[in-house]
Structure 1
């Protein structure tokens, strides 16, 4: 029987940064879809419900497959799944460029969703393997890459897609090719690590900072964590996919200026994501989750009612605070079930995608049926659900080495 210990190795920073860059490229491809919404509404006359369905199909494939991929690779790691996943996304983006009808767009986003589902659990595993004793930092670098890619959506819309249409989307294929090359190199390193573990008969696993918990306590904690991810993802989806239309109707903004406001929200979300991991290493996972999900609630509730000069400030505060927990919830889930690194990454990130998928179609339907003002207010009230964070078990704050 092989020995099982936690190897407190030094961080492998080149791999940590490389997988973060690949995460940026992967999520930039996903970001093309919401970035195209104003174009699709303008040129193809799609309804908000149809736009929500496009986002639903993309995210539901990513969310449903991610835990399954994580579970399978926990049992039998497959290093070269990483470039294969990005090849699927490359195919999806190529089909998107050629599509001129609603059903073709749906087919293309299926390939993008599959590629994302394959990439995320294995990317998170590579981040863990390269982390050494900097687990929170490694996960932050990884997630900052992804959130940066998502944050590019409004800029892509304003400066690439709206002016140039599908020709603008084609430029992203160049970066996708770079991502496939980098992931092939990372997969070689990944395979060498697995071979080294096999030869040494020592398996690297995560040692949890949480106290011993019963199975029922773990299940309850995971339920609370998934409720947090649900509420956070629903709210963030509302802002990133549909708030631009509220800015246009309520404040008379142009599409381009509205997209810049959304970019600021997402850019400060990237800042929050980066600091979340290191802060949780220093001050504890639960403490940082509480800060992230409780502090922005008053700003979320007030956002639909404030005058335009305050909107940008509120978006900065909400974006930065609410996304601090993005990294931490992944690490917290992995520490709840330390023997299932890939499964927990796939579950938490997959649920985030899934709630984004459900949120897109529900919010789109609400806007069509009830109007955009009612919908913005309703989604803001949903953030009160974030108070369940107090029910999470408290972890131990580790002393710095």
Structure 2
């Protein structure tokens, strides 16, 4: 099937790219399927803990092995494809994830689980930077909305983790993960279509390269300001990722210990957090387009801080409500931080996407290990109380350049 390009050259010599919603929605579905595969790994934590007797530290290492590979590789993949785009990297990445999931379903040991999660992490590292580049290509003038459509698919896939645990992995056990090879195969088929559209648009961009390329002027003072802004952005992603890791990976154990619920019942709490987080991701982009990216980043952390602090002390029913609100507010800045970073360095779309999204995975990976060790050392409740103060680091957002400053830098 032929895939039509939406790029048109105007009489002024400027390339007009309208928002290509069909590509964005298909890509969002693929992002959902990709991150569903990733979500199988933490979803299996209670299964591994019960069947193999793994410690919290070992569970943290499993998450670390997948996320750190994705974290390290994503900026590298983004940097390389900024220079040499690879349209078919998208289906190739999902193929790696499919192989990893198949191995995970059959893995007989802790070491084999680590190897399979590394393969899944590699597939994710290949998929995400190129997915973000296609999103930018299809966005037109609606960058915040486009990035939200793309990212909400991923966060929705992550939200499926507790449902996967309750409905599939609890009754079927580890081998139940083999059914997700069908999910991966479906994503590969859809991504072949996306790759064709991507390839055709790259040819259009190559034809009109002199028209659409924006020359970047290097200025020493601006370079220093950009480095400082990136450092602050990294600290913000650190706070969001570590807190999100604490909830996604270990809050299920907290509910079982504090509220006396079963594994299946505990997954509902995580589902509420991730489901409302996916909704927050979707609405965060359009709100940032209207009210400003820095404002959304600030509110997503500082606004959630009071609720995060009281969460360990509320009852089992109120916890659902608090978790839902926390998830919505906290993840409303997920897509916004990606767009903000891309606007810091407009000519490095893949690199910035790989850095910020990869950093989120990496920080989550380090957080999984550190939190697992901390829980083993000082206890689950004490750890959950301690991490509740992380969102206060959102105050650092006040040191970021304003949206207007970013526009002025890009015009110099």
**Which range, TM-score by smaller chain?**
over 0.9
Q: Which moved more, 1:304-313 or 1:56-65?
A: 304-313
State the Cα distance separating 1:6 from its structure 2 match. Answer: 7.0
1:60, 1:354 within 8 Å by CA — same for their partners in 2? yes
**1:64 matched to 2:64:** no
Task: Provide the C-alpha distance between the structure 2 equivalents of 1:308 and 1:205, rounded to a whole number of angstroms.
Answer: 55
Q: What residue in structure 2 maps to residue 367 of structure 1?
A: 375
The 1:263–1:131 alpha-carbon spacing in structure 2 relative to 1, beyond 3 Å, is: same
1:293, 1:389 within 8 Å by CA — same for their partners in 2? no
Within 5 Å, give how 1:170-189 maps onto structure 2. 170-189=178-197
Task: Provide the C-alpha distance between the structure 1 equivalents of 2:178 and 2:138, rounded to a whole number of angstroms.
Answer: 33
Give the TM-score of the pair, scaled to structure 2. Answer: 0.92
Correspondent of 1:223 among 214, 231, 244: 231
Q: Deviations over 1:286-326 (max 9, x none)?
A: 11111111100000111111222321111011000000000
**1:262 matched to 2:273:** no
Q: Deviations over 1:332-352 (max 9, x none)?
A: 000000010000000000100
Aligned length: 391
The 1:205–1:379 alpha-carbon spacing in structure 2 relative to 1, beyond 3 Å, is: farther
**1:124 matched to 2:128:** no
Task: Provide the C-alpha distance between the structure 1 equivalents of 2:16 and 2:32, rounded to a whole number of angstroms.
Answer: 27
**1:308 matched to 2:316:** yes
Correspondent of 2:384 among 365, 368, 376: 376
Task: Provide the C-alpha distance between the structure 1 equivalents of 2:214 and 2:128, rounded to a whole number of angstroms.
Answer: 18
Task: Provide the C-alpha distance between the structure 1 equivalents of 2:187 and 2:270, rounded to a whole number of angstroms.
Answer: 26
Root mean square deviation, CA, Å = 1.8
State the Cα distance separating 1:383 from its structure 2 match. Answer: 2.3
Give the TM-score of the pair, scaled to structure 1. Answer: 0.94
Q: Secondary structure at the match of 2:402?
A: coil
Task: Provide the C-alpha distance between the structure 1 equivalents of 2:102 and 2:246, rounded to a whole number of angstroms.
Answer: 27
The 1:138–1:235 alpha-carbon spacing in structure 2 relative to 1, beyond 3 Å, is: same
Q: What residue in structure 2 maps to residue 353 of structure 1?
A: 361
Correspondent of 2:32 among 9, 15, 24: 24
Correspondent of 1:110 among 118, 135, 146: 118
Q: What residue in structure 1 maps to residue 345 of structure 2?
A: 337
Task: Provide the C-alpha distance between the structure 2 equivalents of 1:224 and 1:253, rounded to a whole number of angstroms.
Answer: 39
Q: What residue in structure 1 maps to residue 6 of structure 2?
A: none
State the Cα distance separating 1:160 from its structure 2 match. Answer: 0.6
Q: Secondary structure at the match of 2:42?
A: helix
State the Cα distance separating 1:380 from its structure 2 match. Answer: 0.9
Task: Provide the C-alpha distance between the structure 2 equivalents of 1:117 and 1:325, rounded to a whole number of angstroms.
Answer: 21
Q: Secondary structure at the match of 1:163?
A: helix
2:27, 2:131 within 8 Å by CA — same for their partners in 1? yes
2:105, 2:176 within 8 Å by CA — same for their partners in 1? no
Q: Secondary structure at the match of 1:258?
A: helix
Q: Deviations over 1:342-397 (max 9, x none)?
A: 00000000100000000000111111111101110111122222211111111139
The 1:53–1:372 alpha-carbon spacing in structure 2 relative to 1, beyond 3 Å, is: same
Q: What residue in structure 2 maps to residue 286 of structure 1?
A: 294
**1:240 matched to 2:238:** no
The 1:354–1:204 alpha-carbon spacing in structure 2 relative to 1, beyond 3 Å, is: farther
Q: What residue in structure 2 maps to residue 54 of structure 1?
A: 62
Q: What residue in structure 1 maps to residue 5 of structure 2?
A: none
Q: Secondary structure at the match of 2:347?
A: coil
**1:253 matched to 2:256:** no
Task: Provide the C-alpha distance between the structure 1 equivalents of 2:52 and 2:95, rounded to a whole number of angstroms.
Answer: 28
Correspondent of 1:326 among 295, 310, 334: 334
Q: Mind listing any 5+ residue stretches in structure 1 that lack a counterpart?
A: none
The 1:232–1:86 alpha-carbon spacing in structure 2 relative to 1, beyond 3 Å, is: same
Q: What residue in structure 1 maps to residue 174 of structure 2?
A: 166
Q: Secondary structure at the match of 2:87?
A: coil
Task: Provide the C-alpha distance between the structure 2 equivalents of 1:278 and 1:178, rounded to a whole number of angstroms.
Answer: 29
1:207, 1:335 within 8 Å by CA — same for their partners in 2? no
Q: What residue in structure 2 maps to residue 87 of structure 1?
A: 95
1:39, 1:165 within 8 Å by CA — same for their partners in 2? yes
Q: Secondary structure at the match of 2:86?
A: coil
Task: Provide the C-alpha distance between the structure 1 equivalents of 2:221 and 2:154, rounded to a whole number of angstroms.
Answer: 32
State the Cα distance separating 1:207 from its structure 2 match. Answer: 11
